[in-house]
Amino acid sequence: MVCKKGQATPVTEEERGFFVARLDTQTPATPRPLAEVKTDVLTLWRQQERQRAAETLADDLLTRARAGDVSLEALARQTPGVTLEPLGPVTRSGQSGLGPDAAAQEPAPRPLVTALFDTQPGALARVALDDGAAVLKVEKAEAPAADVATRERDAVAQALRQSVADDLLNGFTDALAAQVGVTVNQGVLNDALQPVR
């Protein structure tokens, strides 16, 4: 609801009780002074410039590697600030490492995983990451072991079941609210539907 000066909102039930607001004064939006945001602007600009430089360097390394006259290992040794980080098998969910401790490992970044699965074995690609860029080479692609495939399938199935359940609950509460004319305290409903621990 949009309020005018001196106007109050209708009574609304929230998690902690009832809520009413009244607009006494309104201050028009104004840009923050440069002196106030200068540090944040400079930090953001530096971050964007570092990202741009990383992506330009990655493009250059990719071009040189595709020319075939130098390996990724040699490029990493020759280029200051560049490291070669071999990555073992990766699942589509980003899980790297397929042993019993795989679930404890940090998943690979989503853009990297997408690029890996979009790149043919033996091919090179460049991918932008949140904190820079990477040049990658896919050595080989192989079907996962049965236990890994089962874990991946079960995780996807669980996520889909949860998503469908959430959608059904939201649709039901919206329809109920529209039909009966009630409001639903979403916080209380969410607490009631949480599994008992």
What six digits make up the tokens of 32? 């923050």
Q: Are residues 80 and 127 in the same domain?
A: yes
Q: Are residues 138 and 157 in the same domain?
A: no
Distance of CA 113 to the CA centre of its chain: 12
Domain membership of residue 163 (yes or no) is yes
Domain region containing 55:
37-142
Q: Are residues 128 and 169 in the same domain?
A: no
Distance of CA 11 to the CA centre of its chain: 37
What is the pLDDT confidence band of residue 142, given thresholds at 50, 70 and 90? confident
Tens of pLDDT, residue by residue over 60-113, are: 999 999 998 888 999 999 999 999 988 888 887 787 755 555 555 678 889 999
**Placement of tokens 């600030």 in the chain:** 81
What would the mean pLDDT of 22-40 be, rounded to a whole number? 90
Domain membership of residue 133 (yes or no) is yes
> What values do phi and psi take at 94, rounded to 5?
95, 0
Neighbouring C-beta atoms of residue 127, cutoff 10 Å: 21
Q: Are 193 and 172 in contact (CB under 8 A)?
A: no
Predicted local distance difference test score (pLDDT) of residue 1:
65
Q: Are 58 and 76 in contact (CB under 8 A)?
A: no
Predicted local distance difference test score (pLDDT) of residue 153:
84
Q: Are residues 138 and 185 in the same domain?
A: no
Q: Are residues 118 and 163 in the same domain?
A: no
Domain membership of residue 14 (yes or no) is no
Q: Which residue has the higher pLDDT, 59 or 173?
A: 59
Domain membership of residue 50 (yes or no) is yes
Q: Are residues 135 and 167 in the same domain?
A: no
Length of the chain in terms of residues written: 197
SS3 154: helix
